[in-house]
């Protein structure tokens, strides 16, 4: 993704707006629910919608004493297993007790009669959301520290004892990559007509799945703009957007994060070290050191899988555009990225010997 594309995404996703007509709800009903379920809540309540929130509409709830964030399932017909705000709420609540950087949660509502769909409420964490992966506004030392913080935070997630925090049933045991391929194949097939490239990837990757060595909490969409960086320090204040989280193969998470070096402006920087950013090799080494690994096998296979998965997600967005349920103004433009993603996935699958 180019710097111009990063800037366009930032502009489209930053700040607040009036609640979109398709996402309005009974604010008085929400006020009553908050008064009954959120400790310390006191209105009056002002509701604004975040410009971001590709999948689940997200709102800022402002009261005289505190600012909250509400995430909900979008209204309308939804794909099976998508928009799992209940799973988001559960994993954030569990991790909050460990000191891992997540917002404090206040309550989950599964009564659709309140605002028309399930939702949960959490704290608003202040800080920076950074969109341009080259971090042009930072000095080299700060860039390096922010990237190290991203690596360490993801490694710490993967090192978390999920059973000890009550998440032993948060995902099915074993064959995570095989099940993920099946899941995203179903989502893509439920959204659009067959794509020959996607069908080839499903067959090739499905027949060459690497053996799973570890099980961990995986975030599912770990990237810079899903993190809040502290306002003045190069540390992660909060990890956001846990909709895709589960128990699974941590290398799927890490290699998705690593894809940024291949698909963004990072790849155009001639001297990463002088710029203050780690190389792919240094990033792998730092992650392995913190997670007790000696190396990462099958990187090309994982790169192919991650491109395939992102294409499947965008096919789902394309389907929501068609059905009129897309929650993001840039949803149609996002779907235009699919052909390049499929071609890139096929290239890496070929290098991995999967096709």
Q: Write the CA distances from 223 to 37, 94, 226, 261, integer angstroms.
A: 32, 21, 6, 11
Residue 212 belongs to a domain with what CATH number?
3.90.1200.10
Residues 317-325 have a mean pLDDT of 75
Examine the domain organization and report whether 334 and 187 are in the same domain. Answer: yes
DSSP secondary structure letter of residue 238: E
Whether 318 has a pLDDT exceeding 90, the answer reads no
Q: Among the three residues 123, 153, 171, which one is the final residue of a domain in this structure?
A: 123
Q: Is residue 48 part of a domain?
A: yes
Going along the chain, which residue ranges are E strands? 16-17, 46-50, 58-62, 67-72, 105-109, 119-123, 216-218, 227-229, 236-239, 246-248
Residues 101-124 have a mean pLDDT of 96
Examine the domain organization and report whether 144 and 117 are in the same domain. Answer: no
Q: What is the pLDDT of residues 231-276, one digit of tens each?
A: 999 999 999 999 889 999 999 999 999 999 988 888 788 899 999 9
Q: Is residue 65 part of a domain?
A: yes
Whether 8 has a pLDDT exceeding 60, the answer reads no
Predicted local confidence at residue 77, as pLDDT: 52
Place of tokens 């290398």: 251
- Give residue 327's pLDDT band: very low, low, confident or very high (50, 70, 90): low
Examine the domain organization and report whether 217 and 300 are in the same domain. Answer: yes
Examine the domain organization and report whether 232 and 199 are in the same domain. Answer: yes
Instruction: Return the minimum-mean-pLDDT range out of 9-23, 155-169, 290-304.
Output: 9-23
Examine the domain organization and report whether 242 and 338 are in the same domain. Answer: yes
Examine the domain organization and report whether 195 and 147 are in the same domain. Answer: yes
Q: Among the three residues 123, 158, 179, which one is the final residue of a domain in this structure?
A: 123
Examine the domain organization and report whether 158 and 48 are in the same domain. Answer: no
Predicted local confidence at residue 61, as pLDDT: 98
Quote the CA–CA distance of 14 and 266 in Å, as a whole number: 22
Examine the domain organization and report whether 251 and 144 are in the same domain. Answer: yes
Residues 327-345 have a mean pLDDT of 80
Q: Among the three residues 123, 157, 190, which one is the final residue of a domain in this structure?
A: 123
Q: The domain containing residue 344 runs over which residues?
A: 140-351
Q: Is residue 160 part of a domain?
A: yes
Residue 105 belongs to a domain with what CATH number?
3.30.200.20
Examine the domain organization and report whether 233 and 321 are in the same domain. Answer: yes
Q: Is residue 261 part of a domain?
A: yes
The neighbouring-strand residues paired with 245 are: none
Q: % helix / strand / coil in the chain, to the nearest 5?
A: 45, 10, 40
Predicted local confidence at residue 55, as pLDDT: 72
Look at residue 343 and give its three-state secondary structure: helix
Q: What is the dihedral of CA 200, 204, 207, 212, to 10 degrees?
A: -120
Q: Is residue 132 part of a domain?
A: no
Q: Is residue 307 part of a domain?
A: yes
* Total structural domains within the chain: 2
- Give residue 206's pLDDT band: very low, low, confident or very high (50, 70, 90): very high
Residues 3-16 have a mean pLDDT of 58
Q: Is residue 306 part of a domain?
A: yes
Predicted local confidence at residue 234, as pLDDT: 97
Q: Is residue 6 part of a domain?
A: no
Q: What is the pTM of this model?
A: 0.87
Q: What is the pLDDT of residues 12-61, one digit of tens each?
A: 556 889 998 989 999 999 999 999 999 999 999 999 999 865 578 999 99
Structure token digits, residue 20: 């979109």
């Amino acid at each position: 993704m180019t710097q111009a594309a990063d800037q366009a995404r930032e502009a489209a996703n930053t700040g607040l707006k009036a609640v979109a007509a398709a996402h309005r709800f009974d604010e008085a009903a929400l006020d009553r629910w908050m008064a009954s379920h959120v400790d310390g809540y006191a209105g009056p309540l002002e509701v604004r919608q975040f410009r971001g929130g590709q999948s689940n509409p997200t709102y800022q709830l402002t009261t005289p004493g505190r600012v909250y964030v509400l995430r909900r399932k979008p209204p309308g017909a939804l794909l099976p297993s998508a928009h799992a705000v209940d799973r988001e709420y559960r994993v954030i609540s569990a991790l909050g007790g460990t000191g891992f950087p997540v917002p404090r949660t206040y309550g989950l509502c599964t009564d659709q009669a309140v605002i028309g769909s399930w939702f949960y409420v959490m704290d608003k964490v202040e800080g920076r959301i950074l969109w341009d992966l080259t971090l042009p506004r930072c000095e080299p030392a700060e860039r390096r520290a922010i990237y190290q913080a991203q690596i360490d935070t993801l490694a710490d997630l993967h090192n978390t004892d999920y059973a000890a925090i009550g998440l032993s049933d948060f995902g099915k045991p074993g064959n995570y990559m095989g099940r993920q391929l099946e899941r995203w194949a179903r989502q893509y097939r439920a959204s659009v007509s067959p794509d020959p490239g996607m069908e080839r990837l499903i067959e090739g990757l499905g027949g060459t799945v690497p053996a799973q060595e570890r099980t961990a909490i995986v975030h599912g969409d770990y990237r810079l703009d899903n993190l809040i960086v502290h306002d003045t320090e190069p540390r992660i204040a909060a990890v956001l957007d846990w909709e895709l989280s589960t128990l699974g193969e941590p290398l799927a998470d890490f290699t998705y994060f690593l894809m940024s070096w291949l698909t963004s402006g990072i790849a155009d920087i001639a001297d990463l070290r002088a710029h203050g950013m780690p190389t792919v090799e240094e990033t792998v080494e730092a992650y392995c050191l913190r997670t007790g690994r000696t190396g990462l096998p099958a990187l090309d296979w994982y790169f192919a899988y991650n491109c395939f998965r992102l294409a499947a997600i965008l096919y789902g967005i394309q389907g929501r555009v068609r059905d009129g349920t897309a929650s993001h103004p840039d949803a149609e433009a996002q779907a235009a990225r699919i052909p390049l993603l499929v071609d890139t996935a096929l290239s890496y699958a070929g290098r991995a010997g999967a096709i």
